[in-house]
Structure 1
Amino acid sequence: MSGWPVEYARRVLSTVDSTNAEAARTATEMTQPTWILAREQTAGRGRRGRVWANPPGNFAATLLLRPTEAPHLTALRSFVAALALHEAFVTVSGRPEAFSLKWPNDVLLNGGKVAGILLESLGVFHGVSYLAVGIGVNLIAAPDPAQLEERAVRPVSLMSETGAHVTPEEFLEALAIAYAAYETQFQTYGFEPIRQAWLARAAKLGEVITARTGNTERVGTFETLDEHGNLVLRTAQGREAIPAADVFF
């Protein structure tokens, strides 16, 4: 690693309720993109308000940004963050073949969920004023599968699957370096290179998957990711672009 990206600030907290909540509380004080890392997080949240367990030694952090793009482009940073996470995992483990990306915002290790991303807009007024990119990683421990919803991908930890013991501070440095590079690419060249890189690491591409939105499920072949970040399925009814869903294998 070449060192911390100078254009990004860093705050390390002993304990906090949620790093995304801390980002919301301090957004107006931000003078540059800022990573907020918590050694202990007492009220972490995942997508759709689900609880995100974070025992000591696991990774909980939020990147606080002040984007200038339209909201639909700002939301594409979930894919930027996913690529940065993938690269950080490869950096600390040396096992590129073990990791893949699950739409819309998870990282898989040997087929199990090792990390998740939660984007939240803050202070919205005529667009997104601030963006919190929350990231949780099972560095040393994974949740009890019995606590998860039916059909959820089994949870795993980096240490249990690879034997790599990585501290949250070490992982943050690898992640921040990777994110800064992908963010520059996104701002310079737009979403297309990010889309292509994400697809090259996608789990179950070309295979049959299930996408559930509310009480509706669609089963089809995962064809691609479109220019808006939508999941594109080939179903019995034809080709369909899905903007938001829970995906099951």
Structure 2
Amino acid sequence: MAMWPAQLQRHIFAELDSTNAEARRHLEQGAQADAWFMAHSQTAARGRRGRPWHAPAGNFMASLLLKLDMPAAAAAQRSFVAALALHDTLVALTGRGDIFALKWPNDVLARGQKLAGILLETAGTGARVDHLIIGIGVNLAHAPGLDAVEPGAMTPVSLQQASGISVAPEAFLNSLAPNFAQREAQLRDAGFAAIRQSWLERAANLGAPITARLGDRVETGIFETLDENGALLLRSATGTQTIAAADIYF
């Protein structure tokens, strides 16, 4: 297993309200160093759009606090970095590269079901970001029941169910942190084009029909590719649309 990245702090808690909230508290207290925050249990976990996130003990719940100085659009590319790092980690720990895929914009699938989610929160001034918090939840041991997910949402699954392999949360973090550092170095050295290509090679439903829910409207078409900034290109009867944010269904 790769070594823990140099100069990267690690904070492990028995219980927190939310690892993203804990990372923000450290930031408000003047923390500057990059750090991971992991909790064995969360009492107020949330996903995208403020939705509750199922967070029982045995699952992976962690957030990475990064110090940055860049436009918001560039900071948002870390969602793809995190997704690739998650995929790298899952394959390394299970040896099952065939069962995992990446779902735009920020989910990881196992056997076509939702295994993990990513939530980005930023801090900065104007259009620039000086700190980024990347929250990650992975259903290692437990998956919520269908009664806990929205109608039409993807069925959740645990890593144990999908692969038959049990992974402890701290072991998962010890693999994820160096994998994220390696993907972050790829972004820095080769640019987003390299990250984009790696993500597309692992994409779920690329070239297939999908439905995008954008606020008060729904668009259906073929998932063609990602543009140079990571937006989804959807080909429909009315032409190709560039979608920067949406809930995707297939």
* C-alpha distance in 2 between matches for 1:95 and 1:35: 26
Q: Is the 8 A contact 2:220 2:236 kept in 1?
A: yes
The corresponding residue for 2:152 is 151
* C-alpha distance in 2 between matches for 1:197 and 1:161: 23
- TM-score w.r.t. length of structure 1: 0.97
Cα-to-partner distance string for 1:152-203 (whole Å, 9 max, x where unaligned): 1100000111111111100001110110000011112210000000000000
**Structure 2 counterpart SS, 1:128:** strand
- TM-score w.r.t. length of structure 2: 0.97
The corresponding residue for 1:19 is 19
The corresponding residue for 1:141 is 142
Mapped pair 1:64 → 2:62: no
Q: Is the 8 A contact 2:86 2:176 kept in 1?
A: yes
Aligned sequence identity (%): 51
* C-alpha distance in 1 between matches for 2:181 and 2:7: 9
Equivalence map 1:1-249=2 (5 Å): 1-28=1-28, 29-125=30-126, 127-249=128-250
Cα-to-partner distance string for 1:39-79 (whole Å, 9 max, x where unaligned): 11110010000000100100100000011221110011000
* C-alpha distance in 2 between matches for 1:127 and 1:103: 24
Displacement of 1:125 in angstroms is 4.9
Number of aligned residue pairs: give it.
249
* C-alpha distance in 1 between matches for 2:91 and 2:127: 38
Cα-to-partner distance string for 1:67-119 (whole Å, 9 max, x where unaligned): 12211100110000000000000011110010000000000000000000000
**Structure 2 counterpart SS, 1:160:** helix
* C-alpha distance in 1 between matches for 2:94 and 2:6: 25
Amino acid at match of 1:163: G
**Structure 2 counterpart SS, 1:66:** strand
Cα-to-partner distance string for 1:20-57 (whole Å, 9 max, x where unaligned): 01111111533321110011111001000000010010
* C-alpha distance in 2 between matches for 1:30 and 1:168: 24
Q: Is the 8 A contact 1:124 1:130 kept in 2?
A: no
Unaligned stretches of 5+ in structure 1?
Answer: none
Displacement of 1:123 in angstroms is 4.5
**Structure 2 counterpart SS, 1:41:** coil
